[in-house]
């Protein structure tokens, strides 16, 4: 596929995600971790303008110099920026203005891509595609948080259909022998720098579940008083649930003794057979402890992943987000993409129902802080 076609395809998908929104939906920021949708569509546009057009397209005129301040996310190399907590205060630029900005950059990119493109720029383009696709997943989860915290629980898209995933028929845990396993990306195609430097790890013998924990199983944990038994929680997790009055996964609501949860269709009765989702690492760890089991490490997950179905949920692991041996940050702003976040976070493996095409691979390393749960996070057990 040529670069122009790939570029247009990625950009259209972002706009399709936003096509179900009302103008007012674009501007809401309920919590610091959720960005207004209009900021996302401006930021991914800024990425192409900043890293492709401005340095490589001779004669390109910047759309608005203020937008570097508005839409820079965390790139210290590129300059000052609106702090994350203030994104929801940006009533201007308007949604219409941001779409005009998007159109302006798209037209410039089309002209740029008709010329000769160096291999270095092609690599940046591919990174830009993958960057925007990551934001497509963030858009979906941020939109769910925005609408799911509206007291009316409006549907995002009544015709939304979650992808169908196969489920293992086996109940017995998969047994993995002790030994040396190779971990990390290898082969052709795109990967992020945090997946690189394939290396060997030694693993003791272990067993891993072929299935994700379901809502029904998690409900047993709730009904048994799991949220009120300190023995299953890290001290920090225990403080977190008590400070925030957490009694169930995000989006769960007990209405007249019946559990419901918010979905893209609106508020629905809880589907007991579905994999539990929107749980923090603290909750995943506590559930595993309650079961007398544990979470797998990211290396155990990757070594066994060809033997079970995955892709419905981002699965918490017991691994801290750290660099692989030989990891080196790229020079300049691009080097800020992953490396500087390798502290105080846990790795998640797998994918989710809103992960874009091409972002589901066994070596993909997602990462979040232990208290976060607005992503489609779930639980797989090990022992």
Burial of residue 3 (CB within 10 Å: 0-12, 13-18, 19+) is: middle
Question: Is-contact 298 229, C-beta < 8 A?
Answer: no
Phi, then psi, of 64 in degrees rounded to 5: -155, 115
- Nearest CA to 371 out of 273, 274, 269, 250 is that of 250
Query: How many Å apart are CA 321 and CA 314, to the nearest integer?
Result: 14
Question: Is-contact 224 286, C-beta < 8 A?
Answer: no
H or E element that contains 378: strand 377-378
Instruction: Determine the pLDDT at residue 1.
Output: 65
218 DSSP 8-state letter:
H
Strands (DSSP E) found in 289-376? 314-320, 346-350, 366-368
Query: How many Å apart are CA 170 and CA 168, to the nearest integer?
Result: 5
| Token pair belonging to 159 | 């015709």
Residues 6+ apart with CB under 8 A from 286: 221, 226, 227, 232, 233, 237
Question: Is-contact 182 200, C-beta < 8 A?
Answer: yes
| Token pair belonging to 344 | 């105080």
* pLDDT tens for the chain, residues 1 to 383: 699 999 999 999 999 999 999 999 999 999 999 999 999 999 999 999 999 999 999 999 999 999 999 998 877 766 788 888 889 888 999 999 999 999 999 999 999 999 999 999 999 999 999 999 999 999 999 999 999 999 999 999 989 988 877 777 778 999 999 999 999 999 899 999 999 999 999 999 999 999 999 999 999 999 999 999 999 999 999 999 999 999 999 999 999 999 999 999 999 999 999 999 999 999 999 999 999 999 999 999 999 999 999 999 999 999 999 999 999 888 776 666 677 889 999 999 999 999 998 899 999 999 999 999 999 999 999 99
Question: How many beta carbons lie within 10 A of that of residue 261, not counting itself?
Answer: 21
Instruction: Determine the pLDDT at residue 80.
Output: 84
Instruction: Determine the pLDDT at residue 144.
Output: 98
Question: Is-contact 175 207, C-beta < 8 A?
Answer: yes
- Nearest CA to 44 out of 88, 10, 85, 87 is that of 10
The SS3 of residue 312 is coil
| Token pair belonging to 203 | 């693993």
Cis peptide before 306 (omega within 30 of 0): no
Name the pairing type of β-strands 199-203 and 206-208.
unpaired
Question: Is-contact 160 140, C-beta < 8 A?
Answer: no
Query: How many Å apart are CA 105 and CA 203, to the nearest integer?
Result: 49
Query: How many Å apart are CA 271 and CA 264, to the nearest integer?
Result: 14
Length of the chain: 383
State the Cα angle at 77 between 74 and 79, rounded to 5°: 75
Residue given tokens 């994918």 in the structure block: 351
Beta bridge partners of 200: 182
């Amino acid at each position: 596929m040529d670069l122009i076609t790939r570029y247009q395809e990625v950009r259209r998908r972002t706009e399709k995600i936003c096509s179900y929104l009302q103008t007012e939906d674009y501007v809401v920021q309920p919590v610091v971790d959720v960005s207004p949708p209009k900021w996302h569509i401006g930021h991914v546009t800024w990425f192409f303008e900043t890293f492709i057009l401005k340095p490589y397209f001779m004669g390109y005129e910047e759309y608005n110099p203020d937008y570097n301040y508005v839409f820079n996310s965390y790139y210290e190399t590129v300059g000052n920026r609106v702090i994350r907590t203030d994104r929801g205060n940006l009533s201007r630029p308007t949604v219409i203005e941001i779409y005009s900005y998007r159109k302006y950059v798209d037209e410039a990119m089309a002209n740029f891509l008709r010329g000769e493109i160096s291999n270095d720029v092609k690599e940046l383009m591919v990174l830009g595609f993958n960057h925007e696709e990551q934001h497509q997943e963030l858009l979906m989860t941020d939109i769910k948080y925005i609408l799911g915290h509206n007291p009316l629980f409006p549907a995002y898209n009544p015709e939304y259909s979650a992808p169908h995933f196969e489920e293992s028929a086996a109940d017995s845990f998969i047994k993995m022998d002790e030994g040396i396993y190779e971990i990390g990306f290898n082969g052709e195609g795109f990967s992020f720098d945090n997946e690189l430097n394939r290396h060997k790890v030694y693993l003791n013998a272990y067993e891993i579940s072929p299935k994700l924990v379901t809502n029904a199983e998690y409900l047993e944990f709730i009904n048994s008083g799991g949220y009120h038994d300190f023995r299953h929680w890290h001290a920090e997790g225990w403080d977190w649930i008590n400070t925030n009055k957490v009694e169930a996964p995000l989006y769960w609501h007990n209405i007249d003794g019946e559990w419901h949860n918010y979905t893209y269709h609106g508020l629905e009765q809880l589907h007991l057979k579905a994999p539990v989702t929107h749980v923090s690492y603290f909750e995943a760890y506590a559930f595993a402890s309650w079961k007398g089991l544990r979470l797998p490490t990211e290396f155990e997950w990757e070594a066994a992943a060809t033997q079970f179905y995955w892709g419905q949920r981002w699965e918490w692991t017991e691994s801290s987000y750290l660099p692989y041996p030989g990891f080196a940050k790229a020079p300049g702003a691009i080097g800020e993409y992953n490396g500087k976040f390798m502290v105080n976070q846990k790795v998640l493996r797998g994918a989710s129902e809103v992960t874009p095409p091409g972002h589901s691979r066994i070596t993909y390393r997602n990462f979040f802080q232990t208290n976060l749960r607005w992503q489609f996070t779930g639980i797989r057990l090990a022992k």
